[in-house]
Structure 1
Amino acid sequence: MTLEQDAVLAARLMHDAGALAHRMRAAGLDAETKTSISDVVTAADHAAERLVVDALAAERPDDGVLGEEGANRVGANGRTWVIDPVDGTYNFVAGLDWWCSALALTDGDDLVLGAIHHPATGRTFVGGPDLPSRVDGTALVPLADRPLSESCVTTYLHPPHYGGEVGAAFGRMVGQAATLRMLGSGSMDAMAVAEGRLHVVCQHSVPPWDELPGAAILRGVGGVTRHVQAAGVDWYVAGVPTAVDEACAALTNP
Protein backbone atom coordinates (compact mmCIF):
# COMPACT_ATOMS: atom_id res chain seq x y z
CA MET A 1 0.00 0.00 0.00
CA THR A 2 1.18 3.52 -0.72
CA LEU A 3 1.24 6.32 1.82
CA GLU A 4 -1.47 8.15 -0.11
CA GLN A 5 -3.71 5.07 -0.11
CA ASP A 6 -3.30 4.78 3.64
CA ALA A 7 -4.13 8.48 4.01
CA VAL A 8 -7.31 8.15 1.93
CA LEU A 9 -8.38 5.15 4.01
CA ALA A 10 -7.63 6.93 7.30
CA ALA A 11 -9.59 10.02 6.29
CA ARG A 12 -12.59 7.91 5.23
CA LEU A 13 -12.60 5.89 8.43
CA MET A 14 -12.45 8.99 10.59
CA HIS A 15 -15.28 10.61 8.68
CA ASP A 16 -17.40 7.48 9.14
CA ALA A 17 -16.52 7.09 12.83
CA GLY A 18 -17.22 10.74 13.58
CA ALA A 19 -20.50 10.66 11.69
CA LEU A 20 -21.61 7.56 13.60
CA ALA A 21 -20.78 9.13 16.97
CA HIS A 22 -22.54 12.34 15.99
CA ARG A 23 -25.72 10.45 15.04
CA MET A 24 -25.64 8.46 18.26
CA ARG A 25 -25.25 11.62 20.35
CA ALA A 26 -28.25 13.17 18.63
CA ALA A 27 -30.30 10.09 19.53
CA GLY A 28 -29.33 10.32 23.21
CA LEU A 29 -26.53 8.67 25.20
CA ASP A 30 -25.62 7.81 28.76
CA ALA A 31 -22.04 8.28 29.93
CA GLU A 32 -19.99 6.16 32.32
CA THR A 33 -17.07 7.44 34.38
CA LYS A 34 -13.68 5.77 33.82
CA THR A 35 -10.89 7.25 35.97
CA SER A 36 -12.46 10.56 37.07
CA ILE A 37 -15.52 12.76 36.64
CA SER A 38 -13.86 14.32 33.57
CA ASP A 39 -12.85 10.94 32.05
CA VAL A 40 -16.02 9.44 30.58
CA VAL A 41 -17.03 6.93 27.93
CA THR A 42 -20.24 6.31 26.00
CA ALA A 43 -21.69 3.67 23.70
CA ALA A 44 -20.70 5.93 20.81
CA ASP A 45 -17.01 5.60 21.74
CA HIS A 46 -17.30 1.82 21.60
CA ALA A 47 -19.38 1.74 18.43
CA ALA A 48 -17.09 4.13 16.55
CA GLU A 49 -14.01 2.14 17.60
CA ARG A 50 -15.63 -1.11 16.46
CA LEU A 51 -16.46 0.45 13.08
CA VAL A 52 -12.79 1.34 12.56
CA VAL A 53 -11.46 -1.99 13.85
CA ASP A 54 -13.79 -3.98 11.58
CA ALA A 55 -12.90 -1.89 8.53
CA LEU A 56 -9.17 -2.27 9.17
CA ALA A 57 -9.54 -6.03 9.63
CA ALA A 58 -11.09 -6.18 6.17
CA GLU A 59 -8.87 -3.65 4.37
CA ARG A 60 -5.53 -3.95 6.23
CA PRO A 61 -5.66 -7.49 7.71
CA ASP A 62 -1.91 -7.68 8.38
CA ASP A 63 -1.84 -4.45 10.39
CA GLY A 64 -2.24 -4.19 14.14
CA VAL A 65 -4.66 -1.97 16.02
CA LEU A 66 -4.56 -0.18 19.37
CA GLY A 67 -7.70 1.60 20.54
CA GLU A 68 -8.51 3.77 23.52
CA GLU A 69 -11.59 1.68 24.29
CA GLY A 70 -9.75 -1.65 24.39
CA ALA A 71 -9.04 -2.78 20.83
CA ASN A 72 -5.63 -4.43 20.74
CA ARG A 73 -4.43 -6.66 17.92
CA VAL A 74 -0.79 -7.29 17.09
CA GLY A 75 -0.16 -7.17 13.35
CA ALA A 76 2.09 -9.29 11.19
CA ASN A 77 4.07 -6.46 9.58
CA GLY A 78 5.00 -4.01 12.35
CA ARG A 79 2.33 -1.47 11.37
CA THR A 80 -0.25 -0.35 13.95
CA TRP A 81 -3.31 1.86 13.67
CA VAL A 82 -3.91 3.86 16.87
CA ILE A 83 -7.57 4.78 17.34
CA ASP A 84 -9.31 7.46 19.39
CA PRO A 85 -12.96 7.05 18.37
CA VAL A 86 -14.16 10.12 20.28
CA ASP A 87 -11.45 12.48 21.50
CA GLY A 88 -12.98 15.00 23.89
CA THR A 89 -15.70 12.74 25.28
CA TYR A 90 -16.54 15.12 28.15
CA ASN A 91 -17.28 17.83 25.55
CA PHE A 92 -19.14 15.26 23.44
CA VAL A 93 -21.40 14.31 26.34
CA ALA A 94 -21.89 17.95 27.41
CA GLY A 95 -23.14 18.93 23.95
CA LEU A 96 -20.06 20.97 23.07
CA ASP A 97 -18.50 20.81 19.62
CA TRP A 98 -14.76 20.59 20.46
CA TRP A 99 -14.40 16.83 19.89
CA CYS A 100 -13.33 14.62 17.02
CA SER A 101 -12.47 11.15 15.81
CA ALA A 102 -8.73 10.58 15.44
CA LEU A 103 -6.46 7.92 13.98
CA ALA A 104 -2.71 7.45 13.55
CA LEU A 105 -0.59 4.90 11.72
CA THR A 106 2.81 3.81 13.00
CA ASP A 107 5.37 1.51 11.40
CA GLY A 108 7.55 0.20 14.21
CA ASP A 109 8.85 3.29 15.99
CA ASP A 110 8.07 5.57 13.03
CA LEU A 111 4.98 7.76 12.97
CA VAL A 112 3.55 7.54 9.44
CA LEU A 113 0.36 9.61 9.35
CA GLY A 114 -2.60 10.96 11.24
CA ALA A 115 -6.22 11.66 10.32
CA ILE A 116 -8.74 13.70 12.34
CA HIS A 117 -12.40 14.38 11.54
CA HIS A 118 -14.30 17.22 13.23
CA PRO A 119 -18.02 16.48 12.88
CA ALA A 120 -19.13 19.94 13.99
CA THR A 121 -17.59 21.52 10.88
CA GLY A 122 -17.43 18.42 8.67
CA ARG A 123 -13.70 18.95 8.10
CA THR A 124 -11.13 16.17 7.85
CA PHE A 125 -7.40 16.70 8.43
CA VAL A 126 -4.71 14.30 7.24
CA GLY A 127 -0.92 14.47 7.13
CA GLY A 128 2.36 13.11 8.38
CA PRO A 129 6.14 13.59 8.51
CA ASP A 130 6.39 12.64 4.82
CA LEU A 131 2.89 13.71 3.82
CA PRO A 132 2.19 17.47 3.69
CA SER A 133 -0.82 18.12 5.88
CA ARG A 134 -4.13 19.15 4.38
CA VAL A 135 -7.73 19.70 5.34
CA ASP A 136 -10.42 18.46 2.95
CA GLY A 137 -7.75 18.19 0.27
CA THR A 138 -6.44 21.75 0.67
CA ALA A 139 -2.86 22.11 1.87
CA LEU A 140 -2.36 23.74 5.25
CA VAL A 141 -0.09 26.79 5.34
CA PRO A 142 3.31 25.97 6.89
CA LEU A 143 3.52 27.13 10.49
CA ALA A 144 5.06 30.51 11.20
CA ASP A 145 7.59 30.29 14.02
CA ARG A 146 7.28 32.48 17.11
CA PRO A 147 8.63 32.64 20.68
CA LEU A 148 6.71 31.34 23.68
CA SER A 149 6.09 34.90 24.84
CA GLU A 150 3.94 35.45 21.73
CA SER A 151 2.25 32.04 21.85
CA CYS A 152 -1.05 30.65 23.08
CA VAL A 153 -0.56 27.39 24.98
CA THR A 154 -3.28 24.76 25.16
CA THR A 155 -3.40 22.01 27.78
CA TYR A 156 -5.63 19.50 29.55
CA LEU A 157 -4.02 19.91 32.95
CA HIS A 158 -6.84 19.86 35.49
CA PRO A 159 -6.90 21.94 38.70
CA PRO A 160 -6.01 18.98 40.99
CA HIS A 161 -2.61 18.90 39.24
CA TYR A 162 -1.80 22.57 39.81
CA GLY A 163 -0.13 21.99 43.18
CA GLY A 164 3.17 20.28 43.93
CA GLU A 165 6.10 19.81 41.58
CA VAL A 166 3.94 19.18 38.52
CA GLY A 167 2.08 22.42 39.04
CA ALA A 168 5.31 24.29 39.65
CA ALA A 169 6.82 23.00 36.40
CA PHE A 170 3.70 23.89 34.47
CA GLY A 171 3.58 27.31 36.10
CA ARG A 172 7.18 28.05 35.05
CA MET A 173 6.32 27.20 31.48
CA VAL A 174 2.94 28.85 31.11
CA GLY A 175 4.13 31.94 32.96
CA GLN A 176 6.32 32.67 29.94
CA ALA A 177 3.47 32.28 27.42
CA ALA A 178 1.19 34.98 26.08
CA THR A 179 -2.01 33.17 27.16
CA LEU A 180 -3.53 29.77 27.95
CA ARG A 181 -6.55 27.73 26.84
CA MET A 182 -8.03 24.43 28.09
CA LEU A 183 -10.52 23.30 25.46
CA GLY A 184 -10.85 19.58 26.14
CA SER A 185 -9.67 17.65 23.07
CA GLY A 186 -5.97 17.06 22.51
CA SER A 187 -6.35 16.19 18.84
CA MET A 188 -8.53 19.21 18.11
CA ASP A 189 -6.09 21.40 20.04
CA ALA A 190 -3.33 20.09 17.78
CA MET A 191 -5.42 20.98 14.71
CA ALA A 192 -5.84 24.52 16.02
CA VAL A 193 -2.04 24.67 16.23
CA ALA A 194 -1.73 23.18 12.75
CA GLU A 195 -3.92 25.98 11.41
CA GLY A 196 -1.98 28.69 13.29
CA ARG A 197 -4.84 29.56 15.66
CA LEU A 198 -3.00 28.26 18.74
CA HIS A 199 0.72 27.62 19.00
CA VAL A 200 1.80 25.04 21.61
CA VAL A 201 0.23 21.89 23.03
CA CYS A 202 1.63 20.97 26.47
CA GLN A 203 0.43 18.07 28.62
CA HIS A 204 1.99 15.30 30.69
CA SER A 205 1.37 11.53 30.64
CA VAL A 206 -0.28 11.57 27.22
CA PRO A 207 -1.44 8.18 25.86
CA PRO A 208 -0.63 7.36 22.23
CA TRP A 209 -4.18 7.84 20.93
CA ASP A 210 -4.22 11.38 22.32
CA GLU A 211 -0.75 12.23 20.98
CA LEU A 212 -0.03 10.52 17.68
CA PRO A 213 -2.84 11.62 15.31
CA GLY A 214 -2.22 15.30 16.02
CA ALA A 215 1.56 14.86 16.18
CA ALA A 216 1.65 13.42 12.67
CA ILE A 217 -0.38 16.27 11.19
CA LEU A 218 1.67 18.88 13.06
CA ARG A 219 4.88 17.43 11.64
CA GLY A 220 3.37 17.53 8.18
CA VAL A 221 2.88 21.30 8.46
CA GLY A 222 6.32 22.12 9.90
CA GLY A 223 5.61 21.68 13.61
CA VAL A 224 7.83 19.84 16.07
CA THR A 225 6.97 17.35 18.81
CA ARG A 226 9.07 16.61 21.89
CA HIS A 227 9.03 14.66 25.13
CA VAL A 228 10.85 15.86 28.25
CA GLN A 229 11.00 14.59 31.82
CA ALA A 230 10.13 17.10 34.55
CA ALA A 231 8.59 16.87 38.04
CA GLY A 232 8.61 13.07 37.78
CA VAL A 233 6.35 12.86 34.71
CA ASP A 234 6.74 12.73 30.95
CA TRP A 235 5.64 15.93 29.21
CA TYR A 236 4.52 16.05 25.59
CA VAL A 237 5.12 19.44 23.95
CA ALA A 238 4.25 20.19 20.32
CA GLY A 239 3.82 23.17 18.03
CA VAL A 240 5.95 25.92 16.57
CA PRO A 241 9.68 25.19 17.00
CA THR A 242 10.96 28.15 19.04
CA ALA A 243 8.03 28.15 21.46
CA VAL A 244 8.34 24.37 21.93
CA ASP A 245 12.06 24.68 22.71
CA GLU A 246 11.40 27.44 25.22
CA ALA A 247 8.52 25.55 26.83
CA CYS A 248 10.68 22.44 27.28
CA ALA A 249 13.47 24.53 28.79
CA ALA A 250 11.06 26.13 31.26
CA LEU A 251 9.59 22.78 32.29
CA THR A 252 12.97 21.21 32.99
CA ASN A 253 14.82 24.15 34.61
CA PRO A 254 13.57 25.05 38.12
Structure 2
Amino acid sequence: MQLVALAERLADAARAETLRHFRGGSLGTVSKDADGYDPVTVADRAAEAAMRDILAAERPQDGILGEEYGTQVGTSGLTWVLDPIDGTRGYVAGTPTWGTLVAVHNGTAPILGLIDQPYIGERFIGGLGQAAFRGPHGTGALNASRTTTLSDAIIFTTFPEVGTEVQRAGFEAVTKGCKLTRYGMDCYAYGLLALGHVDLVIEAGLAPYDIQAPIAVIEAAGGIVTNWDGAPADQGGSALAAATPALHAAALEILRSYA
Protein backbone atom coordinates (compact mmCIF):
# COMPACT_ATOMS: atom_id res chain seq x y z
CA MET A 1 0.00 0.00 0.00
CA GLN A 2 2.99 2.30 0.41
CA LEU A 3 3.45 2.49 -3.35
CA VAL A 4 -0.26 3.13 -3.89
CA ALA A 5 -0.28 5.97 -1.36
CA LEU A 6 2.81 7.49 -2.95
CA ALA A 7 1.30 7.26 -6.44
CA GLU A 8 -1.70 9.17 -5.11
CA ARG A 9 0.57 11.85 -3.65
CA LEU A 10 2.33 12.21 -6.99
CA ALA A 11 -0.99 12.60 -8.77
CA ASP A 12 -2.15 15.15 -6.20
CA ALA A 13 1.01 17.20 -6.76
CA ALA A 14 0.60 17.05 -10.53
CA ARG A 15 -3.08 17.96 -10.18
CA ALA A 16 -2.21 21.18 -8.35
CA GLU A 17 0.22 22.21 -11.09
CA THR A 18 -1.96 21.32 -14.06
CA LEU A 19 -5.08 23.02 -12.65
CA ARG A 20 -3.05 26.13 -11.85
CA HIS A 21 -2.60 26.73 -15.58
CA PHE A 22 -5.60 24.99 -17.18
CA ARG A 23 -7.90 27.40 -19.06
CA GLY A 24 -5.84 30.22 -17.65
CA GLY A 25 -3.37 32.67 -19.11
CA SER A 26 -0.28 31.94 -21.16
CA LEU A 27 0.74 28.29 -21.14
CA GLY A 28 4.14 29.02 -22.62
CA THR A 29 3.34 26.42 -25.26
CA VAL A 30 6.04 25.31 -27.67
CA SER A 31 6.03 22.44 -30.14
CA LYS A 32 8.51 19.59 -29.78
CA ASP A 33 8.00 18.72 -33.46
CA ALA A 34 9.45 21.18 -35.96
CA ASP A 35 7.37 19.64 -38.75
CA GLY A 36 4.06 19.40 -36.90
CA TYR A 37 2.35 20.32 -33.66
CA ASP A 38 3.43 18.34 -30.59
CA PRO A 39 2.90 20.84 -27.77
CA VAL A 40 4.50 21.02 -24.36
CA THR A 41 3.47 23.63 -21.79
CA VAL A 42 4.78 25.09 -18.56
CA ALA A 43 2.21 22.88 -16.81
CA ASP A 44 3.71 19.68 -18.28
CA ARG A 45 7.13 20.59 -16.94
CA ALA A 46 5.94 21.89 -13.58
CA ALA A 47 3.80 18.83 -12.91
CA GLU A 48 6.57 16.37 -13.69
CA ALA A 49 9.08 18.39 -11.66
CA ALA A 50 6.72 18.31 -8.67
CA MET A 51 6.39 14.53 -8.91
CA ARG A 52 10.13 14.05 -9.26
CA ASP A 53 10.78 16.19 -6.19
CA ILE A 54 8.56 13.89 -4.11
CA LEU A 55 10.25 10.78 -5.46
CA ALA A 56 13.70 12.21 -4.77
CA ALA A 57 12.70 12.64 -1.15
CA GLU A 58 10.68 9.45 -0.65
CA ARG A 59 12.13 6.84 -3.05
CA PRO A 60 15.62 7.93 -4.16
CA GLN A 61 16.53 4.31 -4.86
CA ASP A 62 13.86 3.96 -7.57
CA GLY A 63 14.30 4.79 -11.23
CA ILE A 64 12.18 7.37 -13.05
CA LEU A 65 11.06 7.57 -16.67
CA GLY A 66 9.22 10.78 -17.49
CA GLU A 67 8.05 12.38 -20.69
CA GLU A 68 9.60 15.78 -20.00
CA TYR A 69 12.81 15.03 -18.10
CA GLY A 70 13.80 11.61 -19.36
CA THR A 71 15.32 8.67 -17.51
CA GLN A 72 16.89 8.49 -14.06
CA VAL A 73 18.41 5.11 -13.32
CA GLY A 74 17.62 3.53 -9.95
CA THR A 75 18.95 0.62 -7.92
CA SER A 76 15.77 -0.93 -6.49
CA GLY A 77 14.45 -2.61 -9.64
CA LEU A 78 11.38 -0.36 -9.64
CA THR A 79 10.83 2.51 -12.06
CA TRP A 80 8.21 5.25 -11.74
CA VAL A 81 6.81 6.05 -15.17
CA LEU A 82 5.35 9.55 -15.40
CA ASP A 83 3.31 11.39 -18.00
CA PRO A 84 2.37 14.71 -16.39
CA ILE A 85 -0.19 15.60 -19.06
CA ASP A 86 -1.27 12.83 -21.39
CA GLY A 87 -3.23 14.71 -24.02
CA THR A 88 -1.48 18.07 -24.08
CA ARG A 89 -3.30 19.00 -27.30
CA GLY A 90 -6.58 18.57 -25.41
CA TYR A 91 -5.16 20.51 -22.46
CA VAL A 92 -4.21 23.41 -24.72
CA ALA A 93 -7.65 23.32 -26.34
CA GLY A 94 -9.39 23.45 -22.95
CA THR A 95 -11.07 20.04 -23.12
CA PRO A 96 -11.29 17.99 -19.88
CA THR A 97 -10.12 14.73 -21.43
CA TRP A 98 -6.38 14.91 -20.72
CA GLY A 99 -4.92 13.29 -17.64
CA THR A 100 -1.88 12.53 -15.52
CA LEU A 101 -0.42 9.03 -15.71
CA VAL A 102 1.63 7.39 -12.96
CA ALA A 103 2.89 3.81 -13.18
CA VAL A 104 5.34 1.58 -11.32
CA HIS A 105 7.25 -0.91 -13.47
CA ASN A 106 9.18 -3.80 -11.88
CA GLY A 107 11.44 -4.48 -14.85
CA THR A 108 9.04 -7.00 -16.36
CA ALA A 109 5.65 -5.30 -16.39
CA PRO A 110 3.77 -2.39 -14.85
CA ILE A 111 2.51 -3.48 -11.43
CA LEU A 112 0.59 -0.31 -10.55
CA GLY A 113 -1.15 2.32 -12.62
CA LEU A 114 -3.03 5.53 -11.93
CA ILE A 115 -5.01 7.67 -14.39
CA ASP A 116 -6.07 11.05 -13.00
CA GLN A 117 -8.34 13.65 -14.62
CA PRO A 118 -7.87 16.71 -12.42
CA TYR A 119 -10.55 19.03 -13.80
CA ILE A 120 -13.36 16.49 -13.55
CA GLY A 121 -11.89 15.07 -10.37
CA GLU A 122 -11.82 11.44 -11.50
CA ARG A 123 -9.11 8.96 -10.60
CA PHE A 124 -8.64 5.33 -11.69
CA ILE A 125 -6.19 3.08 -9.82
CA GLY A 126 -5.22 -0.49 -10.68
CA GLY A 127 -2.66 -3.02 -9.45
CA LEU A 128 -1.23 -4.21 -6.12
CA GLY A 129 -4.69 -5.28 -5.03
CA GLN A 130 -6.36 -2.08 -6.22
CA ALA A 131 -9.09 -1.77 -8.87
CA ALA A 132 -10.97 1.35 -7.90
CA PHE A 133 -12.19 4.73 -9.07
CA ARG A 134 -13.46 7.87 -7.46
CA GLY A 135 -15.06 10.96 -8.90
CA PRO A 136 -18.07 13.28 -8.78
CA HIS A 137 -20.44 10.32 -8.32
CA GLY A 138 -18.45 8.81 -5.49
CA THR A 139 -16.24 5.72 -5.41
CA GLY A 140 -16.47 2.16 -6.64
CA ALA A 141 -14.75 -0.86 -8.11
CA LEU A 142 -13.36 -0.98 -11.62
CA ASN A 143 -14.93 -3.67 -13.78
CA ALA A 144 -14.43 -3.89 -17.52
CA SER A 145 -17.51 -4.76 -19.57
CA ARG A 146 -18.27 -8.35 -20.50
CA THR A 147 -18.60 -7.55 -24.21
CA THR A 148 -17.28 -10.41 -26.34
CA THR A 149 -18.25 -9.51 -29.91
CA LEU A 150 -17.22 -6.64 -32.16
CA SER A 151 -20.82 -6.00 -33.13
CA ASP A 152 -21.58 -4.99 -29.54
CA ALA A 153 -18.38 -3.01 -28.98
CA ILE A 154 -17.71 0.70 -28.48
CA ILE A 155 -14.23 1.51 -29.77
CA PHE A 156 -12.00 4.55 -29.19
CA THR A 157 -8.77 5.94 -30.52
CA THR A 158 -7.21 9.35 -29.92
CA PHE A 159 -6.30 10.50 -33.42
CA PRO A 160 -8.29 9.66 -36.56
CA GLU A 161 -5.00 9.04 -38.38
CA VAL A 162 -4.03 6.49 -35.64
CA GLY A 163 -0.43 6.02 -36.84
CA THR A 164 0.89 5.14 -40.26
CA GLU A 165 -1.45 4.77 -43.23
CA VAL A 166 -1.29 1.00 -42.79
CA GLN A 167 -2.14 1.26 -39.09
CA ARG A 168 -5.03 3.58 -39.83
CA ALA A 169 -6.35 1.01 -42.29
CA GLY A 170 -6.09 -1.64 -39.56
CA PHE A 171 -8.04 0.45 -37.08
CA GLU A 172 -10.72 1.18 -39.67
CA ALA A 173 -10.96 -2.51 -40.50
CA VAL A 174 -11.82 -3.21 -36.85
CA THR A 175 -14.29 -0.32 -36.64
CA LYS A 176 -16.34 -1.73 -39.50
CA GLY A 177 -17.49 -4.49 -37.19
CA CYS A 178 -18.13 -2.27 -34.14
CA LYS A 179 -21.37 -0.54 -33.19
CA LEU A 180 -19.83 2.85 -32.25
CA THR A 181 -16.51 4.57 -32.98
CA ARG A 182 -15.32 7.67 -31.12
CA TYR A 183 -12.14 9.75 -31.14
CA GLY A 184 -10.01 12.13 -29.11
CA MET A 185 -10.05 11.00 -25.48
CA ASP A 186 -6.34 10.31 -24.86
CA CYS A 187 -5.82 8.41 -21.58
CA TYR A 188 -9.40 9.07 -20.47
CA ALA A 189 -10.62 6.41 -22.90
CA TYR A 190 -8.59 3.78 -21.03
CA GLY A 191 -10.24 4.87 -17.80
CA LEU A 192 -13.65 4.49 -19.39
CA LEU A 193 -12.69 0.99 -20.55
CA ALA A 194 -11.73 0.04 -17.00
CA LEU A 195 -15.03 1.51 -15.82
CA GLY A 196 -17.03 -0.63 -18.25
CA HIS A 197 -18.30 2.09 -20.59
CA VAL A 198 -15.88 1.47 -23.48
CA ASP A 199 -14.96 -1.96 -24.88
CA LEU A 200 -11.92 -1.36 -27.08
CA VAL A 201 -9.13 1.20 -27.33
CA ILE A 202 -6.72 0.88 -30.25
CA GLU A 203 -3.72 3.17 -30.71
CA ALA A 204 -0.28 3.36 -32.29
CA GLY A 205 2.82 5.51 -31.99
CA LEU A 206 2.85 5.31 -28.19
CA ALA A 207 5.74 5.85 -25.80
CA PRO A 208 6.14 3.70 -22.67
CA TYR A 209 4.86 6.52 -20.46
CA ASP A 210 1.66 6.70 -22.57
CA ILE A 211 0.58 3.11 -21.95
CA GLN A 212 2.06 1.64 -18.76
CA ALA A 213 -0.45 3.18 -16.33
CA PRO A 214 -3.43 2.23 -18.56
CA ILE A 215 -2.14 -1.36 -18.79
CA ALA A 216 -2.12 -1.78 -15.01
CA VAL A 217 -5.51 -0.12 -14.57
CA ILE A 218 -7.23 -2.12 -17.31
CA GLU A 219 -5.73 -5.45 -16.24
CA ALA A 220 -6.87 -4.82 -12.66
CA ALA A 221 -10.38 -4.21 -14.03
CA GLY A 222 -10.35 -7.58 -15.81
CA GLY A 223 -9.36 -6.40 -19.27
CA ILE A 224 -6.39 -7.21 -21.47
CA VAL A 225 -3.79 -5.03 -23.24
CA THR A 226 -1.22 -6.11 -25.84
CA ASN A 227 0.34 -4.66 -28.94
CA TRP A 228 -1.01 -5.46 -32.41
CA ASP A 229 1.06 -8.65 -32.51
CA GLY A 230 -0.37 -9.91 -29.23
CA ALA A 231 2.87 -9.24 -27.36
CA PRO A 232 3.34 -7.02 -24.27
CA ALA A 233 2.68 -3.34 -24.98
CA ASP A 234 4.48 -1.79 -22.02
CA GLN A 235 7.39 -0.47 -24.10
CA GLY A 236 5.09 1.50 -26.37
CA GLY A 237 4.40 1.29 -30.07
CA SER A 238 0.93 -0.08 -30.83
CA ALA A 239 -1.72 -0.97 -28.26
CA LEU A 240 -4.91 -3.01 -28.29
CA ALA A 241 -6.90 -2.74 -25.06
CA ALA A 242 -10.02 -4.86 -24.74
CA ALA A 243 -12.61 -5.59 -22.09
CA THR A 244 -12.53 -9.38 -22.54
CA PRO A 245 -10.18 -12.00 -24.00
CA ALA A 246 -12.78 -12.95 -26.62
CA LEU A 247 -13.14 -9.35 -27.81
CA HIS A 248 -9.38 -8.93 -27.79
CA ALA A 249 -8.96 -12.04 -29.93
CA ALA A 250 -11.52 -10.82 -32.46
CA ALA A 251 -9.80 -7.45 -32.86
CA LEU A 252 -6.30 -8.96 -32.84
CA GLU A 253 -7.19 -11.32 -35.68
CA ILE A 254 -7.82 -8.26 -37.83
CA LEU A 255 -5.00 -6.06 -36.59
CA ARG A 256 -2.21 -8.62 -37.00
CA SER A 257 -2.38 -8.14 -40.74
CA TYR A 258 -1.60 -4.44 -40.26
CA ALA A 259 0.93 -4.63 -37.41
Q: TM-score, normalised by structure 1?
A: 0.89
Count of residue correspondences: 246
- Give the letter for the 2:20 counterpart: R
* Cα distance between partner residues in 2 of 1:160 and 1:200: 14
Which residue is 1:16 aligned to?
13
Q: 1:160 to 1:198 in 2, by over 3 A?
A: closer
1:222 match: secondary structure: coil
Q: Which residue pairs with 1:246 in the alignment? A: 250
Query: Where do 4+ consecutive residues of structure 1 move more than 6 Å?
Result: none
| Alignment match of 2:151 (pick from 146, 149, 155) | 149
Cross-structure match for 1:117:
116
Match of 2:203, SS state, is strand
Is the CA contact (8 Å cut-off) linking 1:18 and 1:86 kept in structure 2? no
User: Alpha-carbon deviation of 1:226?
Assistant: 1.1
Give the corresponding residue for 2:78: 79
Structure-to-structure mapping, 1:1-254, within 5 angstroms: 4-25=1-22, 26-35=24-33, 37-128=36-127, 130-136=128-134, 138-146=139-147, 147-159=149-161, 161=163, 163=165, 165-185=166-186, 187-229=187-229, 234-241=237-244, 242-253=246-257
Contact 1:140 1:194 survives alignment (8 Å): no
| Residues 60 and 196 of structure 1, relative CA distance in 2, 3 Å threshold | same
Query: Could you list the per-position Cα deviations for residues 99-146 of structure 1 after superposition, in whole angstroms to 9, with x for gaps in the alignment?
Result: 111110011112110112211222222111x42311139342422321
Percentage of matched positions with identical amino acids: 30
Q: Output the amino acid matched with 2:69.
A: G
Aligned CA-pair RMSD: 2.1
For 2:225, the aligned partner's letter is: T
Q: Using the alignment, how far apart are the partners of 2:229 and 2:83 within structure 1?
A: 25
Contact 2:63–2:73 (Cα < 8 Å) also in 1: yes
Letter in 1 for 2:119: A
Q: CA deviation at 1:234?
A: 4.7
The whole-number CA distance in structure 1 between the counterparts of 2:142 and 2:79 is: 28
> Does the 8 Å CA contact 1:103/1:213 hold for their aligned counterparts?
yes
TM-score (norm 2): 0.87
Contact 1:132 1:221 in 2 (8 A): no
Whole-Å separation in 2 of the counterparts to 1:100 and 1:167: 24
Q: What residue identity is the alignment partner of 1:126?
A: I
**Structure 1 regions of 5+ residues with no counterpart?**
none
